[in-house]
Amino acid sequence: MNIDYNERIPNNVDLASNRTLTRALEQWQPQFLRWWGEIGPLDTRELDVYLRTAVSAVPNGWANYDYVKMRDYRWGIFLAPMEPERKVNFGAHKGEPAWQEVPGEYRANLRRLIVTQGDTEPASVEQQRHLGRTCPSLYDLRNLYQVNVEEGRHLWAMAYLLHAFFGRDGRDEAQALLERRSGDSDNPRILGAFNEPTPDWLSFFMFTFFTDRDGKYQLCSLAESGFDPLSRTCRFMLTEEAHHMFIGESGMTRIVQRTCDAIAACDSDDPATLRAQGVIDLATLQRYLNLHFSVTMDLFGSDVSSNAATFYSTGLKGRFEETKIDDDHALTDADYPILEVRDGRLVATKAPALNALNEKLRDDYICDANAGISRWNRIIDKVGIGARLKAPHKAFNRRIGPLAGASVDPDGNVVSAEAWEANRDCWLPTAADRAFVASLMGRVVEPGKFASWIAPPARGVNLRPVDFEYVRFG
Ligand code: BYC
């Protein structure tokens, strides 16, 4: 499972033995590099960055840390080891050997899942393109570039599957992944959250906390796939994804810590007083949280979805931790609660579990996200002001699914459209909030120094000190 870096495209899939595939990917490679140069992280070509590079796909011990010139970074194709005897573990084909080739009748659906997953990866790089100019520290700048190169590699992961298993239309789709652009009105990225801007580092940490966590749940579901190459690809991607969520989680913890330090020092939680100290007040953090949480809720799709039912029953996309669930893995007779608005209230009704798989995954995600938010609240508890950060209700500010038509406040009350609009500025970031957060975003690149609004991390990367020179400007 060691990765061969002597090849033009580093890989652990014995690419050299397949001339046609090698040629196709070698044609895609310069186009990828052109995309990276045009729309990837700004002004990075000549930087030396202390990066983690995958050297093996075996769990524990797959990474090497060293300075890498960004222009020399080697993207490649890495799949987790094959599990002999692996089976399709759910749906109509449960118990059959996992597929090593695409089942012809499921080709279009499988391609669509891979394209949707693949599209998010370059999108996030595009969204984060400008952030290097306003980094709060060298440590954070290095983490941003680590996320960016790995999202680039996740694009490689999906482009490989398209090239290797879908022939001509796979090649066309891999090409289209390099052509859509986040936020472009003519040719946008596929999913809503990936067309939203990430204009500042608070948004970046919220994104890596909330939206990368959707990545975890979707990748875990795809890692259950009966199509073994997709499963193995996603299993390796998950090892990288964990680090992206760590960046979101620790970044948000450090922001909350800094705010709480200022609350203790000023003996006040008044937003204007705190803003004058150069920290982000809790009310502003709550509004950003409401936005990022609700945008991420939409990424799970409609509450009731025949697509999701088909993906499951045909063995293409499972549930989170499918094999640990104790049921029939067919879901033919089960049901699952979903919400609808009735008589001006949200009420739970039952839908067939097979059709409610998006809702089930959304609920699994919410438990995980809430556990992270409760860790921030433990920091707030220590300053004894009784405030809390809280995930809004899952029906708040929805754009996808039947709840998109409802006006629901963050506590889950159905309100009139007028009342919702009248309160928008209490619930979601305002232009003034964004301007204030933007005003904090100065560039801090002196080793060991941090911007006013974020505490230093508890420890550095790979046992290096916090004041290590994580990025060298040459
Ligand atoms: N925005 O039947 P429905 C990550 C579309 S993040 C816009 O409910 P389905 C990462 C839908 O496409 C993980 N459109 O959908 C994180 C469909 O359109 P068509 C990404 C949306 O298929 C950070 C229509 O609405 N991976 O890795 O059940 C950084 C009907 O919808 C949205 C995946 O998502 C939306 N939010 O479920 C980097 C996994 N939602 O066909 C990376 C692969 C739905 O009628 N994707 N629509 O034109 C899937 O499993 C499914 O496509 C979805 C949607 C769960 C996304």
What is the 336 CA–ligand 1 centroid distance (Å)? 20
CA dist 320 and 463 (Å) reads 32
Which stretches of the chain score pLDDT less than 50?
A: none
What is the 90 CA–ligand 1 centroid distance (Å)? 21
- pLDDT tens profile 373-419: 999 999 999 999 899 999 999 999 999 999 998 999 999 999 999 99
Q: Which CA distances in Å does 358 have to 72, 179, 299, 338?
A: 40, 28, 9, 10
What is the 340 CA–ligand 1 centroid distance (Å)? 21
Q: Residue 61's pLDDT is what?
A: 64
What is the 138 CA–ligand 1 centroid distance (Å)? 34
Name the residue at shortest CA distance from atom 15 of ligand 1: 301
CA atoms within 13 A on the CB side of 355: 12
Name the residue at shortest CA distance from atom 24 of ligand 1: 301
- pLDDT tens profile 331-362: 999 999 999 999 999 999 999 999 999 999 99
Other Cβ atoms less than 10 A from the Cβ of 366: the count is 17
Q: Residue 474's pLDDT is what?
A: 77
Within its chain, how far is the Cα of 113 from the centroid? 16
> In the structure, which protein residues have their CB atom closer than 6 angstroms to any atom of ligand 1?
113, 116-117, 120-121, 124, 151, 191-192, 211-212, 214-215, 218, 298-302, 305, 307-308, 317, 358, 400
Q: Residue 1's pLDDT is what?
A: 60
Q: Residue 60's pLDDT is what?
A: 67
Name the residue at shortest CA distance from atom 41 of ligand 1: 307
Q: Which of 218, 233, 300, 365 to mutate to test the pocket of ligand 1 (most atoms within 8 A of CB)?
A: 218
CA dist 224 and 220 (Å) reads 7
Closest CA to 229 of 151, 114, 310: 114
Measured from the CA of 120, which atom of ligand 1 is nearest? Answer: 42
What is the 298 CA–ligand 1 centroid distance (Å)? 8
